Amino acid sequence: MPTINVSKKEFEQLVGKELPLDQLKDRISMLGTDLEKVEDDEIEVEIFPNRPDMLSVQGFARAFSSFIGEKTGLRHYDVKKSGEKIIVDGSVKKVRPFTACAIVKNLQFNDEKIKEVIQIQEKLHITYGRNRKKAAIGVYPMEKISFPINYKANEPNKIKFKPLESEQELTGLQILSQHKAGREFGHLLEGLDKFPYFIDANNEILSMPPIINSHLTGRISEETTAVFIECSGFDYQVLSKCLNIVVTALADMGGEIYSLELDYEEDKKSSPDLTPEKMKLDLKYINKWLGLSLSDEEAKNLLEKMGHDYENGIVMIPAYRTDILHQVDLAEDVAIAYGYENFVEEIPNVATIGEENKLEKFARKVREILVGLKLLEVKNYHLTTAENLNEKMLLENKLIPLKNALGEHNHLRNIILPSLLLNLKDNQHHEYPQNIFEIGRTFNHGKTETGVKETEKLAVVLCHEKTDFTEIKQALTALMDSLGLEVSIKETEHPSYIVGRVGEIIVNDLSLGFIGELSPEVLNKWDLMVPVVGFELELETVFDLI
């Protein structure tokens, strides 16, 4: 978790109150942060990942001031219109498609303030920005740039400027190989035909995100009184939140926030947007999970201690808070404001005896049966690719993608069979037969609180030159006989299997899954040269039947 070092004197000025040292240490620890030390004029504190808005002395002091009751409730920040424009070119759509921007004026920088701005950038890059992949931040002195600013992409050899701490101009590719920041973050642009960059009305390049700023236009100094800020990435809402964290910190330094018009090809946005988010408070839910009996007025006071406003059952959440997504997040804030030290310890008035989950006991029995049939168990990740789940299986199922995935494995699997085919593909250098199975979790859209229904499934594949439908049916029948169930196969069609050699698995008039010989087209997509037969069924339904 990231730590920040702040001046105790500046911190207390921003808080508006000076606390005795013992009380200061106690309250910091109870805010949901981990105090490392307080020495002389320095406070070192570890910030939990869910509160990136506290990664600056301004954000930390703002939260602490509310928490101790000094400046409670929602902080209001005025946003004036600058009349300036950012033009977002269509060339960035497949590169780094979004940006959120702002101007902050009437700043007074000294060496300490400049270090604070750098610290905000660095800490947000590492945490909320996922090492610049999710969000990258640029801060530029207004006296050195001219509007309108264009955000576009071009071939890397056609992008040429003098990067920070460099003595000469470099092309985009040269920056990746010769500049320290380029070598560190170059993998974020790896494989792209075009690189993104910001360029002003005087054709001066400001930066090449997410790598480096220009030495001429991307360095603030003590003479700087106004700054242009941009955040670039792949999700506009993420960038907007990141920008809000930065501009509110600068506003707490004494700056004035000005908005910019973002001119996308098919849309126009005003940035930043500091409008508070609204969420209906479920007080019954809060009291249930915290074991309290708070009144509406008591909940209001506690929420205000965490920087929110509350009126008529609606919570107004600060625009810089990124962690309030559900009622449970409001419950956490209420618990912090109430004080964990104030919760009364209670021993439950019921006695329970722990026991192994019955479904897990059943799954272990199924494993033992299949191992007895000379099958080898494998375990695969829940995450895979849409290509593996649909394209390579000739399917068009509705999948569940991750919102902010870091790699290509960005979908939750809804079936297990593709994972087993991948195992076969990766082990073609080993001898046959390769007969494997997996019992594991799958994920489908469903009517649950999260919208995702999780189900335990079983998949089996047999792979060798002489395998056929008869062999896989024998394996299924042996399994079901061992479980005391009568199984039948109903002829059907399925895109992944050979026509006439695929069936629906039926037990007690319930359809549990499919069994058959994988089609040559599927095998070809997996680069498999040996026949494969298999079945996949709902293991939880089998458990319920038994």
H/E stretch holding 516 reads strand 510-518
Question: SS3 of 542, please?
Answer: helix
Task: Collect all residues with Cβ–Cβ distance below 8 Å to 165 and sequence separation of at least 6.
Answer: 180, 215
For residue 236, list its beta bridge partners. Answer: none
β-strand pairing of 98-105 with 256-264: antiparallel
> DSSP character for 54?
G
Please answer whether residues 531 and 464 qualify as being in contact, where contact means their C-beta atoms are separated by less than 8 angstroms.
yes
pTM: 0.77
Burial class (CB in 10 A: 0-12, 13-18, 19+), 337: buried
Domains with residue ranges and CATH for the chain: 3-67 (3.30.56.10), 79-271 (3.50.40.10), 277-342 (3.30.56.10), 358-545 (3.30.930.10)
Question: SS3 of 421, please?
Answer: helix
For 360, the token pair is 């897990």
Closest CA to 32 of 15, 17, 12, 52: 52
C-alpha neighbours within 13 Å on the C-beta side of residue 368:
8
Closest CA to 147 of 108, 106, 114, 102: 102
Q: What is the CA radius of gyration of the chain?
A: 29
The per-residue DSSP string of 197-214 comes to EEE-TTS-EEEETTTEEB
Task: Collect all residues with Cβ–Cβ distance below 8 Å to 391 and sequence separation of at least 6.
Answer: 525
For 351, the token pair is 């006695």
pLDDT in tens, the chain (546 residues): 788 888 889 988 999 988 888 888 889 889 988 888 888 888 888 988 889 999 999 999 999 999 999 999 999 999 999 999 999 999 999 999 999 999 999 999 999 999 999 999 999 999 999 999 999 999 999 999 999 999 999 999 999 999 998 889 999 999 999 999 999 999 999 889 999 999 999 999 999 999 999 999 988 999 999 999 999 999 999 999 999 999 999 999 999 999 999 999 888 999 999 999 999 999 999 999 999 999 999 999 999 999 999 999 999 999 999 999 999 999 999 999 999 999 988 887 888 888 889 999 999 999 999 999 999 999 999 999 999 999 999 999 999 998 877 678 899 999 999 999 999 999 999 999 999 999 999 999 988 878 899 999 999 999 999 999 999 999 999 999 999 999 999 999 999 999 999 999 999 999 999 999 999 999 999 999 999 999 999 999 999 998
Question: SS3 of 65, please?
Answer: helix
The CA angle 104-105-107, to the nearest 5 degrees, is: 105
Cα separation, 454 vs 436, in Å, equals 23
Side by side, the strands of the sheet bearing 383-384 are 383-384, 411-412, 400-401
The amino acid that residue 56 corresponds to is S
Cα separation, 446 vs 509, in Å, equals 23
H/E stretch holding 46 reads strand 42-46
The per-residue DSSP string of 289-338 comes to HHT----HHHHHHHHHHTT-EEETTEEEEPTT-----SHHHHHHHHHHHH
For 17, the token pair is 């109150």
Cα separation, 213 vs 166, in Å, equals 11
Cα separation, 210 vs 54, in Å, equals 23
β-strand pairing of 434-445 with 376-377: parallel
β-strand pairing of 98-105 with 160-161: unpaired
Tens digits of per-residue pLDDT, 235-251?
Answer: 999 999 999 999 999 99
Q: Where are the beta strands (DSSP E) in 62-111?
A: 79-88, 98-105
